[in-house]
Amino acid sequence: LAERLRAGEGTKAGAQTFDPGRTIGRRTGEMHAALGTETGQSAFDPEPLDRVSLARIVDEAKHEASGAISVLRGVQGGADVSADIAALSAREVEIAAWFESFKQLEPAGRRTRIHGDYHLGQLLVRGEDIVILDFEGEPGRTLPERRAKTSPLRDVAGMLRSYDYAAFAALDAIRTNDPALAERAKAEAERWRDETSAAFLSAWEEASGVDLSDEGNARLLDLFLLQKAFYEPVSYPPLRAHE
């Protein structure tokens, strides 16, 4: 991606032999369908995502958001970063209210075992296909937390964040002093991220059988995306301006 951006070649799917959106989305959906299969083993059989389990998910995300904002207040950075942190801190009450709104949401979907630490670094590309690696879960969490059943949308959020990282890592690799090239490359990177993410979601939805047009699923994906964003400043400081 970085080489194409530097050369100004664009990032349309036709320019690449491996489709990182549909291929990864299909295999991810198949993984989640397999993990959601009834086996008769209580440690693996899917369970309903009820109000109690949804409340637990929301409380965890809310706690991590509050902790991340506290960490960010102590970050020393440039003027742009400081302004972003101040703007985020000013909306802390609004963020908390957004989490509270989930109490009115009708739970949707099932809880299953998931990958738990899902991103592009957990994949091996094999020709035009992939192999998914490393099912040990998020290293920063306890073993019971890694084994706990939750919505597969948590993995989906992790991959969507990873696409965003890949796009901006490609921009970082360009290191150009040409403002026109930098602006064009930024637009191409964002377009690649958005198109790849859309293809991933479409293929995942088809393979997993999960309906992302359902309000409960759509809002839960938003929650996991926000939780992922808040979890990272605590786990991987310091921040860069675009993160």
Q: Taking a C-beta distance cutoff of 8 angstroms, is the pair 16, 196 a contact?
A: no
Q: Which domain holds residue 80?
A: 2-37+47-235
Cα separation values, 100 from 54, 106, 120, 154, Å:
12, 13, 32, 19
- Residue 145: inside a domain: yes
- Residue 84: inside a domain: yes
CB proximity list for 154: less than 8 A, separation 6 or greater: 114, 116, 224
- pTM: predicted TM-score of the whole model, two decimal places: 0.85
Q: What is the pLDDT of residue 235?
A: 47
- Residue 42: inside a domain: no
Residue in the block written with tokens 């958005």: 194
**Between residues 113 and 171, the one the model is more confident about:** 113
Q: Taking a C-beta distance cutoff of 8 angstroms, is the pair 223, 151 a contact?
A: no
Q: What is the pLDDT of residue 79?
A: 75
The one-letter amino acid code at 94 reads: E
> To the nearest whole percent, how much of the chain has pLDDT over 70?
88
Q: What is the pLDDT of residue 9?
A: 52
Q: Are strands 129-132 and 123-126 parallel, antiparallel or unpaired?
A: antiparallel
Q: What is the pLDDT of residue 243?
A: 37
- Residue 176: inside a domain: yes
CB proximity list for 223: less than 8 A, separation 6 or greater: 57, 58, 61, 99, 102
Q: Taking a C-beta distance cutoff of 8 angstroms, is the pair 110, 46 a contact?
A: yes
Question: Is 81's pLDDT higher than 90?
Answer: no
Residue in the block written with tokens 């904002």: 69
- CATH number, domain with residue 184: 3.90.1200.10
Q: Taking a C-beta distance cutoff of 8 angstroms, is the pair 199, 28 a contact?
A: no
The mean per-residue pLDDT over the stretch 61-78 comes to 84
pLDDT category at 183 given cuts 50, 70, 90 is confident
Question: Is 217's pLDDT higher than 50?
Answer: yes
**Between residues 114 and 240, the one the model is more confident about:** 114
Helices 215-235 & 153-174 angle (0-180, nearest 10): 50
**Between residues 230 and 28, the one the model is more confident about:** 28
- Residue 136: inside a domain: yes
* Domains contained in the chain, number: 1
